[in-house]
Structure 1
Amino acid sequence: MRNWILPEYISDVLPLESRQLETMRRAMLDLYERYGYEQVEPPLVEYVESLLTQDDSALDLKTFKLVDELTGRQMGLRADITPQVARIDAHILNRQGVTRLSYAGSVVTTRPDGLLANRQPRQIGAEIYGCADIGADVEAIELMLASLELAGVKDVRLEIGHIGLFNAMADAAQWQSEIRQLAFNALQQKDLAVLQQLTQSLPDSLRDGFLALPLCYGGAEVLDRARTKLPALPAVSEALDVLNKLSAALITRGIQMRFDLAELPGSYYHTGLVFNAYATGFVSAVARGGRYDRVGEKFGRSRPATGFSLDLRSLTAIPFPAHRAAILAPQGDDAALLSAISALRASGQTVIVDLGVDVTEVHINRSLQLISGQWQVVPLQ
């Protein structure tokens, strides 16, 4: 009954899940800080033009709109935090060197990303601005995998693609928005029948290239196969070179990966590498990331950018340790009692003052009792 009187795909966060969310959030943000990431907290609501990147109709559809009663301007509830972080990097911090930023907060979407998804995800992520080198992508992937390890996610599978391959061939085909979007969707769904229909009038090299993308899935050998199957376009060669460099860097660090050259992101602001993490027991990716080098262009400052994000709420299905049992203390104004309670709490113990506690409803296994003139912790009778 957690959705009682709430909108579809919206739910309350109850005590155990809330504790789990906060524990993961703290651990991940501490991890990011150790890598040099500074935390930012953008507002939940902004003028809608600041919440959307250029020509991102997918994000536009997911964004709730409302009217600002003070100005009459259209505002939006954020559906993704990355455009907000790009705005902060571009206009508020305005640094010249590499900037590492992290964030954690709720977003709200008009529609769920899947049948089991929530329309109010708890998004957390880390982003690097100002570095075009493959080292930034390697760091983002390392941090993403470390975040999932902290959350207790097992059997993680890393899959890597590059949206530049699709974009290069779509540009060569001179596809405009409508047919480009149809082909994009067909590739996401690996729908060869639709792809065949859309590409039937293209030159052989382009048609064969589009039809080869969904079949380019597997280990590093996929990249060699792609060089023979995809058209010899400069942007295609450049994208495959980037994937080769990334593969070598990840292998050096002992990170296993698979390549899926038809792996396309859900947001249009990605411009290059894309990487997703999948795990047993989850129906969709548990974390997503990639390159979005032009994400700040709308804000007047286009810088290289890469990063990742994940929804903490999607991870709360993982078994989590139960509440640490508390100590039940009597109510009173005795100075020694108050001192004992303060000392226990300062040592990290949870102490609940008895204001009418039902011990069957809370996690209590000890009590604070006055024994021989001293306040002592004893097993709960």
Structure 2
Amino acid sequence: MTETNDLLPEGFADRLPAAATATTRVMRDALRVMDSHGYDRVIPPLAEFEQSLATRMEGVGTERMIRFTDPASLRTMALRSDITVQVGRIAATRMADAPRPLRLCYSGEVATLDGRQLDPRRQKLQLGAELVGSDTVAAASEIVALAVETLQAAGAEGLTVDFTLPDLVDTLAQDGLPLPADRIEAVRRELDTKDAGGLRDVGGEAYLPLIHAGGPFADAIETLAGIDAGGALATRIAGLKEIAARIDGEARLTLDPSERHGFEYQSWFGFSIYADGMPGTLARGGTYRIRGLDEPATGFSFYPDRLIDALAETGEAAPVVFLPPGHDGEAAARLRAEGWRTRAALTGSDDAAALGCTHVLEGDEAKPL
């Protein structure tokens, strides 16, 4: 019977051997891809002063952060809820003088005060890469291609990349579909919820065609071009086509130009990545600006927990060789050097099958049980 003291808080969980093994493999394979493309790894601290985490990027609030008082400084600290913010701080401070574009990657746990309805986890693994010093089409193309390659290496299959333009309303409001400044936020909100009636109510009738502008990329980009009054989106449309061409054939491509949920601190470009059999978003990224140096950046974050769960359930356990009492130590060392796992008997009564072994060392060879 489980004692009350042994229960974990809601939204937190242990990773048992199968899940821990899958986690290690996903991290290793994802980081290897990012490293191969020249992204240097940084490891920010688990907690920082709340003010630093909350003010480095637009749209990052503190309402979901787990906060506490630092006994040394008596200032409010918080557990990180997004490592991207910390990479921005590093780029703007410790690596402010490093040559640009600066390519950094990371992997670590993040925590939030509460979970979401569709995902109750409050502790998650986050991996990602940031290209600091550029938010050009070339930078966006590199990041999207890197994200796709990273997720494929981690084991995700059947990828779909969904593009969006977070500043769509702002751009059209200035040139093409004019809007008073006090209506822009309301139009953004109604477009995000795809509420045609609400859009009319806030004076955004001219934006109604954007509700139906999403879908498969090739068709949706032409629909968007047809809506684009006065060519205000011409450079963005050209940019999206160039980015899409970079990953053509590697993933299904879709476009939802007015989607803003989850892209609160992105500037002109954003994207989400989904995988077959995986509920929800696996990765999200785009262009943004880092406060402090007011520097442009492009990046993506990969949240692999659901993928790890699936890999842990379907993955086969690695072979393990049982080492009986008095076994050949040199033979066992050779097997380990070849990639085998071994478990040594501590007593003569140890049972190989009960210990989860698949082979037994006989002489200098591993023989199936």
Instruction: Work out whether the TM-score is over 0.5.
Output: yes
2:272 equivalent in structure 1: 276
Matches of 2:87 and 2:261 in 1, distance apart?
19
**Does the 8 Å contact 1:40/1:103 carry over to 2?**
yes
The structure 2 residue matched to 1:263, chosen from 235, 240, 259, is 259
Matches of 1:100 and 1:361 in 2, distance apart?
48
| Counterpart residue type for residue 215 of structure 1 | H
**Does the 8 Å contact 2:33/2:153 carry over to 1?**
no
SS at structure 1 position matched to 2:106: strand
CA 1:291 to 1:265, structure 2 compared with 1: closer, same or farther past 3 Å?
farther
SS at structure 2 position matched to 1:84: helix
275-284 or 343-352, which deviates more:
275-284
Task: Tell me, yes or no, if structure 1 residue 16 matches structure 2 residue 9.
Answer: no
Deviation at 1:354, TM superposition (A): 1.6
Deviation at 1:17, TM superposition (A): 0.9
Task: Tell me, yes or no, if structure 1 residue 326 matches structure 2 residue 324.
Answer: no
Task: Tell me, yes or no, if structure 1 residue 365 matches structure 2 residue 358.
Answer: yes
2:366 equivalent in structure 1: 377
Deviation at 1:258, TM superposition (A): 1.6
Task: Tell me, yes or no, if structure 1 residue 213 matches structure 2 residue 215.
Answer: no
Q: TM-score, normalised by structure 1?
A: 0.84
Task: Tell me, yes or no, if structure 1 residue 87 matches structure 2 residue 82.
Answer: no
**Does the 8 Å contact 1:164/1:272 carry over to 2?**
yes
CA 1:240 to 1:12, structure 2 compared with 1: closer, same or farther past 3 Å?
farther
2:126 equivalent in structure 1: 123
RMSD: 2.8
1:41 equivalent in structure 2: 43
2:33 equivalent in structure 1: 31
Q: Which runs of 5+ in 1 are unaligned?
A: 201-205
CA 1:337 to 1:160, structure 2 compared with 1: closer, same or farther past 3 Å?
same
Task: Tell me, yes or no, if structure 1 residue 154 matches structure 2 residue 143.
Answer: no
Matches of 1:6 and 1:267 in 2, distance apart?
32
Task: Write the deviation string for residues 125-174 of structure 1: whole angstroms up to 9, x where unpaired.
Answer: 11101123211111111111112212332221111111111233567644
| Counterpart residue type for residue 37 of structure 1 | Y
| Counterpart residue type for residue 53 of structure 2 | L
Deviation at 1:207, TM superposition (A): 3.2
Matches of 1:184 and 1:44 in 2, distance apart?
34
1:308 equivalent in structure 2: 300
SS at structure 1 position matched to 2:328: helix
Task: Write the deviation string for residues 200-240 of structure 1: whole angstroms up to 9, x where unpaired.
Answer: 3xxxxx5312x2222111333434433443554xxx82x44
CA 1:188 to 1:284, structure 2 compared with 1: closer, same or farther past 3 Å?
farther
CA 1:305 to 1:175, structure 2 compared with 1: closer, same or farther past 3 Å?
same
CA 1:261 to 1:149, structure 2 compared with 1: closer, same or farther past 3 Å?
same
1:225 equivalent in structure 2: 223
Matches of 1:55 and 1:207 in 2, distance apart?
32
Deviation at 1:246, TM superposition (A): 2.9
1:338 equivalent in structure 2: 329
Deviation at 1:249, TM superposition (A): 4.4
**Does the 8 Å contact 1:161/1:274 carry over to 2?**
yes
| Counterpart residue type for residue 344 of structure 1 | L
Deviation at 1:105, TM superposition (A): 0.4
SS at structure 2 position matched to 1:364: coil
Deviation at 1:312, TM superposition (A): 1.6
Task: Write the deviation string for residues 335-381 of structure 1: whole angstroms up to 9, x where unpaired.
Answer: x7333322222221101112365545543121124xxxx5443333x
1:192 equivalent in structure 2: 196
**Does the 8 Å contact 1:186/1:194 carry over to 2?**
yes
Matches of 1:46 and 1:358 in 2, distance apart?
49
17-26 or 239-248, which deviates more:
239-248
CA 1:280 to 1:378, structure 2 compared with 1: closer, same or farther past 3 Å?
closer
255-264 or 271-280, which deviates more:
255-264
Matches of 2:7 and 2:297 in 1, distance apart?
41
**Does the 8 Å contact 2:23/2:308 carry over to 1?**
yes
1:254 equivalent in structure 2: 248
SS at structure 2 position matched to 1:318: helix
Matches of 1:57 and 1:273 in 2, distance apart?
15
**Does the 8 Å contact 2:50/2:78 carry over to 1?**
yes
SS at structure 1 position matched to 2:121: coil
CA 1:55 to 1:97, structure 2 compared with 1: closer, same or farther past 3 Å?
closer
**Does the 8 Å contact 1:65/1:74 carry over to 2?**
yes
54-63 or 318-327, which deviates more:
54-63
Identity over aligned pairs, percent: 27
1:60 equivalent in structure 2: 62
Matches of 2:352 and 2:67 in 1, distance apart?
46
Number of matched pairs = 356
**Does the 8 Å contact 2:57/2:85 carry over to 1?**
no
